[in-house]
Amino acid sequence: MDTVVEIVSKISGKKQNQISPKSTLRSLGITSSIEILKIQSALERKFNQKLSPIGDKWTINKIAAQVGQDQSNDEEVVKVAQSQTKLSSHETLNGSSERAEFLGSTGLYVGVDIEEIVNLPATSNYRTHDFYRSQFSNEELSSALLRPQPMMHLCGMFCAKEALKKSAPELIDLRMDEIKIEHQNGRPLIKTSHDSINSRFDFQVSISHSQHYAVATVLAVGR
């Protein structure tokens, strides 16, 4: 629990004594996708494990349960542990995640995300920084580093990945490293690393930038 509080305190700017086990990230002023993923990447580095996507309504207790730092009988913690056990069992028995069972959607879905570029962490080396390594592939980093303003383009790709997650309910739990962005003739293309998803959705993406913001829209067309 103490390590989780320390990481959240550092990123939120709140003092550790202002953070209780039942504090949500939202109540601590952490609502930006970038800030939330900063916390997630820091936790994954610290505990050397992949975590389920964290949301702004998550409490410190719930986050601690994911990394095994809380052994209390708090009802919320128990629910998290039970849900993780069910998911692990399903993956073991069927060889794939439960996510694939929900991908029977047809129709048109739209996701939009906008981020302030300055919220991305500053670094002198994008390839070794934990946040960028956890959100982008080597190919995506290379594409951005070839541009005059790498951070602006990384923010645009970040928005595109978030927009895809928001485009259809069953995509919200995708990890950022499960979403891939390529460029062909200057045009961005987006897909996931799951054939089961790509076979059910045709994704179209548009990315725009200004001096301070990046925005992306993703259309997910059910096949």
Residue 68's CATH number: 1.10.1200.10
How far, in Å, are 130, 159, 197 from residue 33 at the CA level? 16, 9, 23
Query: Final residue of a domain: which of 62, 77, 94?
Result: 94
Query: Given this model, what pLDDT does residue 86 score?
Result: 40
- Report whether pLDDT(94) > 60: no
CA separation for the pair 177, 192 (Å, rounded): 9
User: At 122, which CATH number?
Assistant: 3.90.470.20
Query: Given this model, what pLDDT does residue 214 score?
Result: 96
Name the pLDDT band for 90 (thresholds 50, 70, 90).
very low
Name the pLDDT band for 2 (thresholds 50, 70, 90).
confident
Name the pLDDT band for 120 (thresholds 50, 70, 90).
very high
**158 and 204, same domain (yes or no):** yes
How far, in Å, are 65, 66, 129 from residue 41 at the CA level? 16, 13, 10
**143 and 177, same domain (yes or no):** yes
Name the pLDDT band for 105 (thresholds 50, 70, 90).
low
Range of the domain at 177: 103-222
Query: Final residue of a domain: which of 94, 115, 149?
Result: 94
Sign of torsion, CA 196 105 214 60? Answer: negative
Query: Given this model, what pLDDT does residue 125 score?
Result: 95
Query: Final residue of a domain: which of 94, 128, 157?
Result: 94
Are 106 and 223 in contact by the 8 Å Cβ rule? The answer is: yes
Number of domains in the chain: 2
Query: Given this model, what pLDDT does residue 10 score?
Result: 87
Query: Given this model, what pLDDT does residue 186 score?
Result: 83
**107 and 81, same domain (yes or no):** no
Mean pLDDT of the chain: 83
- Report whether pLDDT(109) > 80: yes
CA separation for the pair 200, 43 (Å, rounded): 33
